[in-house]
Chain A
Amino acid sequence: AQTVTQSQPEMSVQEAETVTLSCTYDTSESDYYLFWYKQPPSRQMILVIRQEAYKQQNATENRFSVNFQKAAKSFSLKISDSQLGDAAMYFCAYRSGSARQLTFGSGTQLTVLP
């Protein structure tokens, strides 16, 4: 079974600075997808960024980018120019290419300091 590990329960960053959230996963599959979701205090799940395992290029979405290291099974999220609105719980998620279920990590609570 696949597992997703987020080793940082809490992180903090100064406004306008850069922060990196870690995520590792364990799988024997070659076809899969990785996601980062954000859950603010409203508890709505918001997709931040996605990565296809077959793509070598790291995904980017404005201030959000990932460092995808397939051999190391690592999928970290970098947030540049952090804003107060970035404060939330961030979940890393894995999906097999042959299934639809998501496997979530335990989450990282990000605090942005003004």
Chain B
Amino acid sequence: GAVVSQHPSWVICKSGTSVKIECRSLDFQATTMFWYRQFPKQSLMLMATSNEGSKATYEQGVEKDKFLINHASLTLSTLTVTSAHPEDSSFYICSVAQGRWGPQPQHFGDGTRLSIL
């Protein structure tokens, strides 16, 4: 079964609105979650690392005021795209790191397709 639940799977909204995407770890507690952005036929681009109980770590070039991340519990991280505009339209994927060390893979959510009109 699914290890990570991501909602919504698809959202369409008007320019200027804010959109919240949820990422839940179903099978284990996750102190760290990751948020990626993917454009069509391209690779995953890490946006930020979400840390439970502390501020997220953003990758260079990612606007932290535009993409708000909250990791309030060990099983839930949220990404809010604030005042979304058409250029924010993309596919957003979260992942959960299983275990602190070792070869455990990241488990990915099914992604959210965001379309801003």
Assembled-state Cα–Cα distance A37/B110 (Å): 14
Pair A106/B110 contact, Cβ less than 8 Å: no
Pair A101/B46 contact, Cβ less than 8 Å: yes
In the complex, whether A25 has a CB less than 8 A from a CB of chain B is no
Closest to A97 in B: B101
Residue pairs across A and B with CB atoms within 8 Å: the count is 48
Contact (A101, B42) CB under 8 Å given A35-B105, A52-B103:
no
Pair B49/A44 contact, Cβ less than 8 Å: no
Interface SS majority for chain B: strand
User: B53 to nearest A CB, angstroms?
Assistant: 16
Residues on the A chain within 8 Å of B78, using CB = none
Pair B108/A44 contact, Cβ less than 8 Å: yes
Contact (A44, B43) CB under 8 Å given A33-B103, A35-B105, A50-B103:
no
User: A113 to nearest B CB, angstroms?
Assistant: 20
Interface size on B, residues (CB 8 A): 22
Binds A, one of B19-27, B65-73, B80-88, B89-97: B89-97
Residues on the A chain within 8 Å of B34, using CB = 100-102
In the complex, whether B77 has a CB less than 8 A from a CB of chain A is no
Residues on the B chain within 8 Å of A75, using CB = none
Residues on the A chain within 8 Å of B103, using CB = 33, 50, 52
User: A45 to nearest B CB, angstroms?
Assistant: 4
Pair A45/B43 contact, Cβ less than 8 Å: no
Pair A104/B43 contact, Cβ less than 8 Å: yes
Interface residues of B in 36-64 (CB under 8 A from A): 38, 41-44, 46, 49
Assembled-state Cα–Cα distance A59/B92 (Å): 30
Interface residues in chain A, defined as those with a beta carbon under 8 Å from any beta carbon in chain B: 33, 35, 37, 42-45, 47, 50, 52, 89, 91, 97, 100-102, 104-107, 109
Interface residues in chain B, defined as those with a beta carbon under 8 Å from any beta carbon in chain A: 32, 34, 38, 41-44, 46, 49, 91, 93, 95, 97, 100-101, 103, 105-108, 110-111
21 example contacts (A-B, Cβ-Cβ < 8 A) are as follows A35-B105, A43-B38, A43-B91, A43-B93, A44-B108, A44-B111, A47-B105, A47-B107, A50-B103, A52-B103, A89-B41, A100-B32, A100-B97, A100-B100, A101-B34, A102-B95, A102-B106, A105-B43, A107-B41, A107-B43, A109-B41
